[in-house]
Structure formats: structure tokens, C-alpha cells
Structure 1
Amino acid sequence: MTGSHDGNGTHEEPSRVRGHRPAHGEPLLDRAFRVLACFGPDTPVLSLTALAARAHLPKATALRIARKLTEHGALERTARGHYTIGLRVLEIASAAPRGHGLRVVALPYLHDLWHATRQHVQLVVRERLECVLVERISAPDAQRVMYRVGGRMPLHATTPGLVLLAFAPTQEQEDFLAAERPADEDNPIGTPDALRSRLAAIRRDRYAVYSRPQWDTLMTGVAAPVLDRHQNVIAATSVITPSEQSEPTAHIPAVVAVARAITRAMATAP
């Protein structure tokens, strides 16, 4: 069987290779991002076989995409011939104003909050119906938490996520409430009406307090919104602390003050 050519003049692999079937007509760019998304904290290095399997691509297609990404510096080859994320990705990501740019402005204030609390201090932004951890500063002996810098977090089950959801556009809130998602004993979702009431209280108080088990410890977060110069909520800053070590609500004034300080700094940032 011979392959065909797509509209861009690139050679397409047969529709089935080694049991994989790529999505019909899926753009090459979509497949390239799918390859990049295979890498993570637990999979920083992947062989071509593993990369193809995780991306659900024929091995020949995965090889072609990996070679092109390597050529542009988005992937790098290890001494064993495996693949890992390249520095070009970091270089591009550093230009993201909602990530690196916001982090640069906020970092001095996050350090102040960390010195005041000696707990996990976080800066989080919303990305559609999830949120992304942009920065975290933690004490060496701080209790372990689930989420890593650059990782995605649920809106409804994290304190900064609740803040960001509370100030999201109304239609996006309704889209989130209408979506079905699993609940378990450690992460109760509640009814849409109960969540609406919680979000209304967050908008009224301008902060959120939320507790949930992480690993074997009950952790409580306090979060407050960060605004841009147009008074739109663009991020949330939070403190995460073991509930048994201190009264978490004692951190509310510090978290709110730091969120306001970052807001003022963002108003004059380039």
C-alpha cells in the first residue's frame, strides 16, 4: 500500500500502521502538539515507540513529527536516542504574558507572602475550564501537595480555582456547571446550585477558603484574585497549609494584601 499526499505537500502514512489509526484529516499541527503533550513529570524522556503509543500515532508518523520538532529545537535527543522536551519550548513559553510575564511582576510579592507564612505560596491562572499553576514557592519541610508548576488544576476543587471560576464570565461558569465530572469522597462537587452559592460568596468576600485531603493530610487553602489595569481578574494567589498546624483563616489578610499589591504592580507593568 502506498501513502498519499495532503494539501501541504507532505507525505501521509497509510491509515493503519502497527494497529494505530490516526484521526482522519487531523492537521499535522494538532499531531505535533499531541506529541509534545506526551511529556510530563513522570515521562520526561520517551523512546520513539513509547512516544508513538502515547500519542496514538503510527510509529513512522511519530518519527517524522519528532524529527521535525527536533530540527526546530522543540525536542532534543538523548545519548540513547530517546526524546525529551527542548529548550526552544521554554524560550517560547517565557514570552507568555499570562505565565512568565505575570510571574516576573508577582514574584517579589509572593516571596513576601512566603516569608510571612512559611507555607506553599501559589500563583495560578485560568485556562478555559481548568487552571494552571504558574509559580509555587514552598518551604523545604512543607507538606507535599499535588500540583506542579506548569500543571493543570481543577477549578472547583482548589482554592485559587474557585476564585478564578467565581470571576469568570457568566456563560463560562454555566458551561462549567453543566459539564459532567466525577466526584469522590475526597473531592465532593456538590450540586450546581451549591457551587453557585459558593461562587457568589467568593465574589462578595473577595477571597476563598477551601479544604481537601492531599495525600494523607487535610490541607486548607486561602486565595484572593489578582486584577489587571482594566479590573479584570487575571490570576489568583494562594497559601496552602496543613489544617492542623494553624488556623488557616489567619492567612486571609496577608493573602488579600499580596493579591492587591500584585494588582497595583500589574497596573503599571509594561
Structure 2
Amino acid sequence: MVSSRSGAAGVLRGLEILESLAGLEQPATLTRIASRSGLNEAATYRALRRLEAEGYVDHAPRVGYRLGSRSIALAVLVGPDPPLLRATHPVVTRLVTTTGHSAAMHLRSGGHRVLTVGIPSPSHPLRDQVVLGERAPLTSGSSGLAILAHLPPEEAQTVLSTRPAAERRPSDQELERIRRDGYSVSRSQNHAFMTGISAPLLDPDSGTALGSLSIASRSDQAGATELADLAPILLSACAELGPRLAALIGPGAARSRRGLDVVVRRRD
């Protein structure tokens, strides 16, 4: 019974820490999080370490803590940010109507990307493949690689260095090709029998990727060549949506957030 109570207390403490962090401008220092949550710094630090290990919190050395990809994925499932949906949903919907394929928007969160808007094609529904809140590393799939290739070199290297050694990593030549073309194409990397093309949503102030837009189809319905032919449409949509997304975050979005947790706003 004692261990059960202790476990419940630990869960509640973690939720308190997440709630406190969500209400702060991020990244936030340990001292600020402890002060807002009403816990001492030692207890706050232990809770943050556990949350970090599970992906709910990210820690940037000498900078502070911020909500991680699992927290953002959960927030998307509970209820996407209405201003974000108003700004992005029409563009994603138009991609589906224009191309006849499914379309999605992913936002960067640290070394991951999180699916925040996804619309299946009515003619070739992929509802089992469009899962809001899904997260995957930036090192796999066209949506992640399009973001990774458009990060500052030191940030991209940090992402690569944190992935398991046995995991496939994109080569410098592959990332350079994505930067040159402006888009990435992948097949069956995150979902079997699926082909996708993705382009970055860039902060116009810094040129850093905040997220990506994707068009996807079953591989037996459209291959890499067919999707690559849609690149001009996709790039035009990204050029329209990127500034809208950056405007929601504020000036210098990528610098102020370090390209992370772009849906997190201060709530006081």
C-alpha cells in the first residue's frame, strides 16, 4: 500500500511539473519551474529527469527545460491549438484537393517531429496512417528529413548524435541533396508500403525549419517519381504556410524557441 501511494504521488508530481512548465516561457530554468510548482529544486529535478527519460520533457544544457515531443503529441490528441488549426488547415486541405493524395503537417519537437494536422485523401483513404499526435525521429521519413536538412549544422549534428548507433542515419550527401532540391522523398521508412514527399516550413527570419508539409500515397498508387512531380505544388504551399506558422510563434521563432515546441505559448 505504501508503494502504491508513493507511485501515485510520483505521477501527480510529474503532472504538476508538466503543468507548471507549460505555463512558462520556454526553455525554463530549474529554479523557475520549482518556484512555479511549489516544490523544492531537488524534487523538481528528480521529476524532470524521469519526464525527460520518457520524452515528455527536453533539456538543453545551460539553457533550460521545455515540453518534449510526447507532451506535444498528447496535447494534439486532447485538442489542437485553434489558431494553429485556423492558419494551417485550409492549406493542408487544399493540398489534398489539388493532388488527390493525403496531406499532413508535422511540427518539430527536439529530435522528433509530431503530426499535428493530417487529412486523408477521400479517394484513397489512409486513415490508419494519418494518426494525430504520432511522433517519429527526424532521421527517418521524408517529413523528418526535410526538417533535419534545414536546421543549423550544430543543431542537426546534435539530433544525429542522440540517435542509437545502430539506427540508419542520413548521409551528408543525402541532406545536401534535400537542401538543393527543397524537398525529400522516402518510401516505407515510417509506414510500410507508403511513399511520401515533404518540404520544410521555414521561419522566414532565420531560414530554419519549424516543421514540414507532406503529401503521401500508397506506393502501389503513386511512386516516388509521381510524387516528385508534385513538388512545385508542395513548395508553393510551404511558402504560404511557413510565414503564417512563424507569425503564430512570434519574431525570431526558431531562435527564441531553438526550433522546438512551436505550439507552446505562455499562459498566465
Give the TM-score normalised by the residue count of structure 1.
Answer: 0.58
User: Which residue number in structure 2 is paired with residue 222 of structure 1?
Assistant: 197
Q: How many residues align?
A: 188
The sequence identity of aligned pairs, in percent, is 23
The 1-side partners of 2:193 and 2:12 are apart by: 44
Q: For 2:106, which of 103, 124, 142 is the aligned residue?
A: 124
Aligned residues of 1:147 and 1:153 also touching (Cα < 8 A)? no
Aligned residues of 1:229 and 1:266 also touching (Cα < 8 A)? no
Map residues 63-102 of structure 1 onto 2, 5 A cutoff.
Answer: 94-95=80-81, 100-102=82-84
Q: Using a 3 Å threshold, how does the CA distance of structure 1 residues 171 and 161 change in structure 2: closer, same or farther?
A: same
Per-residue CA distance 1:20-47 (angstroms, 9 max, x = gap): 9659x97954255789xxxxxxxxxxxx
Secondary structure of the equivalent of 1:17?
Answer: helix
Map residues 222-241 of structure 1 onto 2, 5 A cutoff.
Answer: 222-230=197-205, 231-241=207-217
User: Which residue number in structure 2 is paired with residue 59 of structure 1?
Assistant: none
Which structure has more relative contact order (CA 8 Å, sep 6+)? It is: 2
Q: For 2:157, which of 164, 168, 174 is the aligned residue?
A: 174
Higher helix share: 2
Q: Using a 3 Å threshold, how does the CA distance of structure 1 residues 164 and 29 change in structure 2: closer, same or farther?
A: farther
Structure 1 residue 221, shift from structure 2 partner = 0.7
The 1-side partners of 2:247 and 2:114 are apart by: 24
Q: Structure 1 unaligned runs (5+)? A: 1-13, 36-88, 184-188
Q: For 1:258, which of 232, 237, 240 is the aligned residue?
A: 237
Structure 1 residue 253, shift from structure 2 partner = 1.7
The 2-side partners of 1:115 and 1:134 are apart by: 19
Q: Structure 2 unaligned runs (5+)? A: 20-74, 251-268
Q: For 2:219, which of 222, 231, 243 is the aligned residue?
A: 243
The 2-side partners of 1:165 and 1:115 are apart by: 28
Secondary structure of the equivalent of 1:209?
Answer: strand
User: Which residue number in structure 2 is paired with residue 164 of structure 1?
Assistant: 147
Aligned residues of 2:119 and 2:130 also touching (Cα < 8 A)? no
Q: Using a 3 Å threshold, how does the CA distance of structure 1 residues 27 and 109 change in structure 2: closer, same or farther?
A: closer
Structure 1 residue 159, shift from structure 2 partner = 1.1
Q: For 2:3, which of 14, 17, 36 is the aligned residue?
A: 17
User: Which residue number in structure 2 is paired with residue 137 of structure 1?
Assistant: 119
The 1-side partners of 2:7 and 2:155 are apart by: 31
Secondary structure of the equivalent of 1:132?
Answer: strand
Structure 1 residue 132, shift from structure 2 partner = 0.7
Q: Using a 3 Å threshold, how does the CA distance of structure 1 residues 31 and 158 change in structure 2: closer, same or farther?
A: same
The 2-side partners of 1:168 and 1:213 are apart by: 21
Which residue identity lines up with residue 203 of structure 2 in the other structure?
D
